Structure 1
């Protein structure tokens, strides 16, 4: 299938690379389907999440465990049920990265994306009762 991206041009992707966020991503709840482009190599290893429905909407994702080794959280039974997760082997966690000019990069550890890689279902989950940053520095000064 073809996916149009302002930043990346026309992408030819396999439909199995489309991830569905039933509740959308915070601030973008109307957009549910994204092409997940994994492990794009730049200065840091990133994934890209391109909206299937809006060429202007692209998120940069990182593996939070590479930047914060102590990072972790317990997924609630409610979220496991919503995402049909029965094994941790089905799950990939990514966080949204922001670039603030030059080398200044941060990632949102407070609201990770949890992806069921087998069923291609995902959700952005706001973690309660944790002190993770919305703008955790991952390169340069934040």
Structure 2
């Protein structure tokens, strides 16, 4: 199937690549189907979470484990059940990035991660009870990324 995207133009995807959000992205409750797109120039840790329903709805997402070694979000049982995920199933975790005009001031939202069940192709965005920031600097001025 073909979808229109904000950043990649028209792309061909397999229907099996569609991620159905059982808990929608906040502020976009009317959209439930997305696809993760990548650009080989950016590596595996950065993706575009593109709506399959509206081409202008797209989020840059980052794998937090690549940058924040102590990040350990907890997925509630109710969310796991909604995603049809067993307690032993691995869920992918992504955080939404806000890319600032001054790239070094970019942030990520660690408070509201997105989880994807790669086998069931279900997704959910959560607001964690854990104490994480919604505007965590992506770059540490002393250490870099």
Pairwise same-fold verdict (TM > 0.5) = yes
Separation in 2, partners of 1:109, 1:89: 21
- Relative distance call for 1:117 and 1:44 in structure 2 (3 A) is closer
Q: What residue in structure 1 maps to residue 109 of structure 2?
A: 108
The alpha-carbon deviation at position 67 of structure 1 amounts to: 1.6
- In 2, Cα distance between the equivalents of 1:56 and 1:31? 12
TM-score, length-scaled by structure 2: 0.87
Identify, as 1 or 2, the structure richer in strand.
1
Could you give the per-residue CA deviations for residues 10-64 of structure 1, whole angstroms, max 9, x where no partner exists?
0111111110112320011101001111464338831111111111111101011
Runs of 4+ displaced beyond 3 Å = 38-41, 87-90
Tell me what 1:69 maps to: 69
> Structure 2: any 5+ residue segments left out of the alignment?
none
8 Å contact 1:24–1:123 — kept in the other structure? Answer: yes
CA RMSD in angstroms comes to: 1.9
Residue 80 of structure 1 and its aligned partner are, at CA, apart by 1.3
> Once the 2 structures are TM-superposed, how far is the Cα of residue 65 of structure 1 from its aligned partner?
1.2
